[in-house]
Structure 1
Amino acid sequence: MELTQKQFKNINLQDVFFASLINDYAEFSDWFARKAEDSAYVFEDDAGSINGFLYLKTEEDAITDVAPALPAKKRIKVGTMKINARGTKLGERFLKKIFDHAIHNDVEEIYVTVFPHHDVLINLFQRYGFLQAAEKHSANGTELVLVKSLTQLQGNLVSSYPLIKNTGTKKYLLSLKPVWHTRLLPDSILKNENARIIEDISHTNSIHKVYLAAMRGLEALKPGDILLIYRTTDDAGPAHYRSVATSVGVVEEYRSIHSFVSREEFMAYCQPYSVFSDAELNQFWARKNFPHVFRFTYNAALKRRVTRGEMIEQYGLNPNDYWGFMPLTQNQFDSIIRAGQIDEGIIVN
């Protein structure tokens, strides 16, 4: 099951999935027909039935059909978003796509209009920092206008996502072997196309990640700490050139595996966001050989991968240090992400 981009003309409006949208918006079918050449994201199950739909649009004008009107800004409008969640993380996957578009297009805000009876969707948006800014009154009824700022940090690291608080936070380099890196961070593979984050992202792409490791020092992790993800060599060449920094995330929580009172509690914590299979998790629980369990948000992929050699020769990292997990100075972190051409808007001082 993949999240794919399709032109409207290639999307089946007769799918029962669209019935509620047609019921909520009298003009939906006509609008859909006018968008024939435009594209939207569609999530289909194995039988080809639609379970998710997302249409995004970049705007710069004032929003005058809401009360109060919103001033002109560069925004992403979530034109239409509907999901059949069924206990999956599909909503978060769609939000990740929205945030990727917003950062890539350097917008100041994201906004969406939603009817009050869609309380599950409203709660999802609010969790990630969308606040009610206005109401939209039309023949279809009254919708809430929810707005997400991409210039200001909010109450916590989840509501602030994808923004990263740079000042007053500790920074660490965290190494991942290629096999785990690819499973955990699908849009941080070794390709340099700047637009990749808004193209074909694997279904494993989610905002939150849970990882287990045995590397020394991980017990020091605290919420808000920043992780610079480092992909170790694939043995296709010297580590000096093939080991690279690829991504940035923010720690949500650290736990020792011994803090879980049962296998069931451990599995419930890890399963929703872990790249490990149930069999692997069961093995980790039985053996306790990966005692460090931590959850982090996956905020951004570096557009340019920064090599181990570059980090040593230009940014002062010590080749003799333990590169599995090690602290970075503020200057080292800033220099590496600058070299990695990260979207500057997500780093807030």
Structure 2
Amino acid sequence: MQDMLLGFEKFKNISLSDPFFNSLKSDYGEFGDWFLKKGGHQAYTFRNAAGLLDGFLYLKPEDGPVLDSNPPLPSSRRLKIGTFKVNPHGTRLGERFIKRAFDVAVHEGVDALYVTIFAKHTALVELFYRYGFVQQAIKQTGNGRELVLERRLDRVFNDVVLDYPRIPVGAGRHFVLSLYPQWHSRLLPDSLLRTESSSILQDISHTNSIHKIYLAAMGGIEQLTRGDTLLIYRTADGGPAYYTSVATSLCVVEELTNVNNFATVERFLAYCAPYSIFSESELRSFYQSRRYPWVIRFTYNLAFHRRPNRKALVEQVGINPSIYWGFFQISTPQLKQILQLSGDYEKASSLVYSS
């Protein structure tokens, strides 16, 4: 089974002769020399079962203006996406790399991300546009004419996807959604517990994607609406829930729909399959039985550094221990307290905006 954790490797330990780099060498005459000069620098990588590269992402924080574009970009703290390439094979690996770029941008506290890219790479250009990148300039070199795309993190579109990974909290609608361990870590790969092996992850679309779909039947879910905050709670796994159930992640609802809204099983599969942990046979069964009528689509915005357990949620956050822990609402002060316990309050505060 393929390990889906991204690698973080020094350039000097990556073979420039890997066929993966052929297109980059073709696009950029200086690529080989540039690559060799980066020896001690590191890049995010994804390797296939044969050990060859299927993905490569190099990121570089920058301060100041971008002067080699027309027009120049004004002075700002940015994260430059220096090299971004994936071999497309239908698993949304590009979204996984985009998510990592956003994660690093938040960690570095930058105001924006930017990338230069040839327009001919249409799938990659469309991927950037989907997450709020906007063309700001042109870069002309001996290699040709590139688009300069920038995504500002200090501006708000008031849209769940265009604002990703920012989190709208203005409505004060925050809900806890519990997931069983066998579903949790396949769906949310950056939220693995330290005791879990990364071998449970696969190079498949629901693991890689920023977008997730989960089917449920718990009472109260029918009230969810676009922009609601979802705090993901991983249920107990072989130990007392008071100590081993933990809050792991913060997500945002894109859409709530019902299985009855799909006229045919084919339409249901087309909607769910790319982002759901459930197999096609399971989805077909769920469609026929209506066992899990609610279909939640959400974005995966923040994986917690520390995971507060139920003990902390009860004793420090003040959640009623006698409630049903499958799905329930919490207040904005409670959400903030959980973020403080997770060690991510400062990071999350930079992501929050009033919707």
Q: Judge same fold: TM > 0.5, yes or no.
A: yes
Correspondence for 1:256: 258
Which of residues 274, 277, 280 is equivalent to 1:278? 280
d(CA) in 2 for partners of 1:191, 1:108: 31
Correspondence for 1:44: 47
Q: Residue 217 of structure 1: CA displacement? A: 1.2
1:220-245: CA deviations, max 9, x gaps?
A: 111111101111222323x2222221
Identical pairs, percent: 48
Which of residues 43, 48, 65 is equivalent to 2:68? 65
d(CA) in 2 for partners of 1:313, 1:15: 53
The residue matched to 1:153 in structure 2 has which SS? coil
d(CA) in 2 for partners of 1:122, 1:170: 34
Q: Is 1:242 aligned with 2:247?
A: no
Q: Is 1:171 aligned with 2:154?
A: no
The residue matched to 1:219 in structure 2 has which SS? helix
Correspondence for 1:198: none
Q: Which runs of 5+ in 1 are unaligned?
A: 193-200
Correspondence for 1:6: 9
The residue matched to 1:123 in structure 2 has which SS? helix
Q: Number of paired residues?
A: 340
RMSD: 2.0
d(CA) in 2 for partners of 1:69, 1:269: 42
Q: Is 1:314 aligned with 2:316?
A: yes
Question: What residue identity is the alignment partner of 2:269?
Answer: M
Bigger mean CA deviation after superposition, 60-69 or 128-137 = 60-69
Which of residues 88, 106, 109 is equivalent to 1:103? 106
Correspondence for 1:189: 192
Question: What residue identity is the alignment partner of 2:188?
Answer: L
d(CA) in 2 for partners of 1:48, 1:303: 29
1:142-183: CA deviations, max 9, x gaps?
A: 211111112222241101000011112411111112222122
Which of residues 51, 58, 72 is equivalent to 1:55? 58
Correspondence for 2:198: none
1:27-83: CA deviations, max 9, x gaps?
A: 111111111222222333333443322111122232221222223332211101122
d(CA) in 2 for partners of 1:18, 1:311: 48
d(CA) in 2 for partners of 1:126, 1:323: 38
Cα contact 1:187–1:205 (8 A) shared by 2: no
d(CA) in 2 for partners of 1:119, 1:27: 23
d(CA) in 2 for partners of 1:308, 1:15: 47
TM-score between both structures, scaled by the size of structure 2:
0.89
Q: Residue 281 of structure 1: CA displacement? A: 2.0
Aligned pairs for 1:185-224 (under 5 A) are 185-191=188-194, 203=203, 204-224=207-227
Bigger mean CA deviation after superposition, 43-52 or 267-276 = 43-52
Which of residues 325, 348, 351 is equivalent to 1:346? 351
d(CA) in 1 for partners of 2:18, 2:236: 46
Q: Residue 206 of structure 1: CA displacement? A: 2.5
1:99-137: CA deviations, max 9, x gaps?
A: 111112222111100112222211110110111122212
Q: Is 1:82 aligned with 2:85?
A: yes
Cα contact 1:22–1:28 (8 A) shared by 2: yes
- Go from structure 1 to structure 2 and tell me whether the alpha carbon gap of 1:88 and 1:190 turns closer, same or farther (over 3 Å shift): closer
d(CA) in 2 for partners of 1:205, 1:104: 20
TM-score between both structures, scaled by the size of structure 1:
0.91
1:260-284: CA deviations, max 9, x gaps?
A: 1122111111111111222322332
Bigger mean CA deviation after superposition, 181-190 or 265-274 = 181-190
Question: What residue identity is the alignment partner of 2:58?
Answer: Y
Question: What residue identity is the alignment partner of 1:148?
Answer: R
Aligned pairs for 1:114-129 (under 5 A) are 114-129=117-132
Cα contact 2:92–2:208 (8 A) shared by 1: no
Q: Is 1:334 aligned with 2:336?
A: yes
d(CA) in 1 for partners of 2:307, 2:51: 37
Cα contact 1:169–1:224 (8 A) shared by 2: no
Cα contact 1:208–1:298 (8 A) shared by 2: yes
d(CA) in 1 for partners of 2:331, 2:158: 26
Cα contact 1:245–1:305 (8 A) shared by 2: yes
Bigger mean CA deviation after superposition, 1-10 or 274-283 = 1-10
- Go from structure 1 to structure 2 and tell me whether the alpha carbon gap of 1:191 and 1:152 turns closer, same or farther (over 3 Å shift): farther
Correspondence for 2:304: 302
Question: What residue identity is the alignment partner of 2:156?
Answer: L
Correspondence for 2:295: 293
Q: Residue 202 of structure 1: CA displacement? A: 6.6
